[in-house]
Amino acid sequence: MARVVVDVMLKPEILDPQGRAVQGALGRLGLDGVTNVRQGKQFVIDIEGDLDGDRAALLEQLAGELLSNPVIEDFVLTVAQEA
């Protein structure tokens, strides 16, 4: 079994209003020195069997087209093989 984790974040040049709201809240709640907060999303996908080259390529394509918006978001795909 393979576990694929796709982390999606807004590109650095895109404003992040949710991150700004959290940054302000952290300061109001007593956490000083927070200079930036970026909000993102994570997808954890468990796949039966081994992750061969074709399936890995398909996952990379789907992460870029379905799980993220390539205009405003970047993604990082990580594969962790499980025993």
Q: How far apart are CA 2 and CA 17, in angstroms?
A: 34
**pLDDT tens-digit series, residues 30-77:** 999 999 999 999 999 999 988 888 999 999 999 999 999 999 999 999
Q: How many domains does the chain have?
A: 1
Q: How far apart are CA 6 and CA 67, in angstroms?
A: 8
Q: Is the dihedral of CA 52, 56, 57, 58 positive or negative?
A: positive
Q: What is the domain-level CATH number for residue 71?
A: 3.30.1280.10
Predicted local confidence at residue 82, as pLDDT: 63
For residue 49, the enclosing domain spans: 2-81
